[in-house]
Amino acid sequence: MVVRYWREDPCTVLHVAGDLDVAGAPRLRAEIDQAMAAADPLNLVIDLTEVPFCDSVGLGVLVATLNHVRDMKGRMILVLGPGMIRHLLTITNLDRHFETSGSLGEARAALDPAA
């Protein structure tokens, strides 16, 4: 798994590539922690369009992150393409809790207070 993050007003973007599973989840968790520590305001966009697989451990990282962001009065948007992760959120009814977008541009626009 490869995780990169950068600041792109009005948010911090994390781009994830590779399987989000028991092996990759600790790496993602560490990168999310670093990104959140530097984020002001706490607006996260997590781009999962290059993640072909997510297991329960990876899903747990996403849920824990969402809860932490909400506790900090922030906002988090998952960028999803069609496929496994969108389906996983639907069958677990988590699609009702996560804010999602079809592209990075749409997610940034949704977080932009000037838009």
Domain interval for residue 46: 2-111
pLDDT per position as a tens digit, 29-85: 999 999 998 877 789 999 999 999 999 999 999 999 999 999 999 999 999 999 899
* Domains held by the chain: number: 1
Single-letter residue type at 51 = V
Which residues does 86 contact at the CB level (< 8 Å), separation at least 6?
80, 95, 100
CATH number of the structural domain spanning residue 51: 3.30.750.24
pLDDT at 115 (0 to 100): 56
The widest CA-to-CA distance across the chain, in whole angstroms, is 39
Q: Report d(CA 108, CA 86) in Å as an integer.
A: 19
